[in-house]
Amino acid sequence: MGSLAWQLLMVMVLVLGAPGDGRVLGGGRRLRDYDFDFSHLGEALYGSHDTAAIGELVRAWSRSHNGSSVNPEELGTYAEGDIHQPLIERNALKFTSSKWKKGIVPYELSEEFSIGDLAKLFSAFEQFHQKTCIRFVPRTKERDYVVIEGRSSGCWSAVGRMGGRQVLNLQRNGCLQMEGTIVHELMHALGFLHEHTRYDRDRYVNIYFRNVRPNLVSNFGRESESQTTTLGMPYDYGSVMHYSRTAFSKNGKATVEPKIKYSGQLGQRVGFSVKDVQKINKLYCHR
């Protein structure tokens, strides 16, 4: 290859990004300064919420969750129930984020957690460590990091690496009872959205808006194909990122149901599905 052709090739790589860098969304659009676009969530991502009321709902759930058909992260009034980015500074709202460099997520832990709580959290970390290249590591001096708190405001997280300090909340009495809930919120922090909001979801599930609480209809919006990607993976009813059949229901009836016969539990919170692991490895680990 001639020197001029080589220089042109290098310019293209610098401008467009190296082939196979994992930064191409549905529709072939290539991202340049970010990996995740969640502008479809709107200002609900940053809105103010009655955190005390959410905390009480999660506490009540924790006392009787064995008979509940919903998950604790479905009790919040945050965007889609559990996606939230507190406004630390009154600057422009941000609706994009990035992957964690080399799959390494520095974290700090607040002092609310007991030894038992920490054992559950570290067990969830270990699911990632054993099955993916993701590594959760105690923060030293890293600029971008996650603070994991246990305040009484429900289960919630930002999406992806926002830049600087970001919070992931796991209310002690409720959000730590099922390991899958912890995994769910950690996957949000890695950049994953809910399975039932995929742009192609209408091929796979029925959404019964007549059963959804009127003020929470937006929780069943669809992502845009031009802004998000399925990573080429099929729809996953068993994903830890899927919500339950009666999520946000006003009458106890189904709000989301598979279009095919599915005998598994929609909204399971045991841990990863096989496809969850494959998605993480595709996005971060080049596997």
Give me the pLDDT at residue 11, please. Answer: 29
Active site (annotated) includes residue 185 = yes
Tens digit of each residue's pLDDT (9 = 90 or more) over 56-75: 999 999 887 765 678 999 99
Percent of the chain predicted with pLDDT > 90: 66
Give me the pLDDT at residue 93, please. Answer: 58
Average pLDDT in the 168-182 region? Answer: 96
pLDDT greater than 90 at residue 85: no
**261 domain residue, yes or no:** yes
Average pLDDT in the 123-136 region? Answer: 98
Average pLDDT in the 189-209 region? Answer: 95
Of residues 88, 61, 105, 41, the one with CA closest to residue 246? 61
Q: Is 40 annotated as contributing to ligand binding?
A: no
| pLDDT higher at 63 or 216 | 216
Residue 287 pLDDT class (50, 70, 90 cuts): confident
By residue count, the chain amounts to 287
Give me the pLDDT at residue 88, please. Answer: 54
pLDDT greater than 80 at residue 31: no
Q: Nearest 5°: phi and psi at 221? A: -70, 165
Give me the pLDDT at residue 114, please. Answer: 96
Average pLDDT in the 232-254 region? Answer: 96
Burial of 90 (0-12, 13-18, 19+ CB in 10 A): exposed
Token pair 């996957």 is found at 187
Residue 12 pLDDT class (50, 70, 90 cuts): very low
CB-hemisphere CA count at 13 Å for 40?
A: 20
> H or E stretch including 134?
none
Whole-number mean pLDDT of the chain? 84
**10 domain residue, yes or no:** no
**31 domain residue, yes or no:** no
Angstrom distance (rounded) from CA 108 to CA 19: 34
**For 195-198, which contacts have Cβ atoms below 8 Å and span 24 or more sequence positions?**
195/235, 195/236, 195/237, 195/239, 195/241, 195/242, 195/243, 196/220, 196/242, 196/243, 196/256, 197/80, 197/221, 197/222, 197/223, 198/222, 198/223, 198/228, 198/230, 198/235
| pLDDT higher at 66 or 183 | 183
Give me the pLDDT at residue 48, please. Answer: 77
Report helix angle 179-190 to 115-131, nearest 10.
60
Q: Pairing between strand 256-258 and 205-207? A: antiparallel
Q: What is the CATH number of the domain that holds 278?
A: 3.40.390.10
pLDDT greater than 60 at residue 1: no
Give me the pLDDT at residue 171, please. Answer: 97
pTM metric for this prediction: 0.85
User: DSSP alpha helices (H): ranges in the chain?
Assistant: 3-16, 51-64, 115-131, 172-175, 179-190, 274-284
Q: Into how many domains does the chain fold? A: 1
**223 domain residue, yes or no:** yes
Angstrom distance (rounded) from CA 22 to CA 15: 15
From the list 73, 74, 185, 195, the catalytic residue is: 185
pLDDT greater than 50 at residue 258: yes
Q: Is 286 annotated as contributing to ligand binding?
A: no
Average pLDDT in the 25-40 region? Answer: 57
Angstrom distance (rounded) from CA 2 to CA 258: 56
Would you tell me how many other CB atoms lie within 10 Å of the CB of residue 269? 20
The DSSP result for 149-161, as a single string, is E--SS-EEE-SSB
**26 domain residue, yes or no:** no
Give me the pLDDT at residue 40, please. Answer: 72
Give me the pLDDT at residue 100, please. Answer: 95
279, 190 contact by CB (below 8 A): no
Give me the pLDDT at residue 226, please. Answer: 78
**5 domain residue, yes or no:** no
Angstrom distance (rounded) from CA 222 to CA 244: 17
Query: Residue 168 is part of which domain span?
Result: 36-284
Residue 254 pLDDT class (50, 70, 90 cuts): very high
**6 domain residue, yes or no:** no
Residue 39 pLDDT class (50, 70, 90 cuts): confident
**140 domain residue, yes or no:** yes
Give me the pLDDT at residue 8, please. Answer: 32
Q: Is 84 annotated as contributing to ligand binding?
A: no
pLDDT greater than 60 at residue 51: yes
Average pLDDT in the 185-208 region? Answer: 96
